[in-house]
Amino acid sequence: MLSFLNLLLHDAFFSAIPAVGFAMVFNVPKRYLVYCAIAGAIGHSSRTLLLQFSMPIEWATFVAAALVGLITIRFAKRHLAPPLMYAVAAIIPMVPGTYAFNTVIALIQLTAQSQVSPELTAQVIVNGLKTVFILGALAVGLALPSLLYYRTRPII
Residues that bind another protein (CB under 8 A): 11, 14-15, 17-18, 20-29, 32, 80-82, 84-85, 88, 91-93, 95, 97-98, 100-101, 104-105, 108-109, 135-136, 138-140, 142-143, 147, 154, 156
**Residue 55 vs 143, nearer CB to another protein:** 143
Residue 47 beta carbon to another protein: minimum distance, rounded to whole angstroms: 11
Listed residue (91, 85, 71) closest to 138, CA to CA: 91
Residue 10 beta carbon to another protein: minimum distance, rounded to whole angstroms: 9
- Work out whether the CA dihedral 36, 41, 47, 50 comes out positive or negative: negative
Q: Distance between CA atoms of 46 and 64, rounded to whole angstroms? A: 6
Q: Distance between CA atoms of 65 and 79, rounded to whole angstroms? A: 21
**Residue 48 vs 55, nearer CB to another protein:** 48
H or E element at residue 29:
none
**Residue 31 vs 54, nearer CB to another protein:** 31
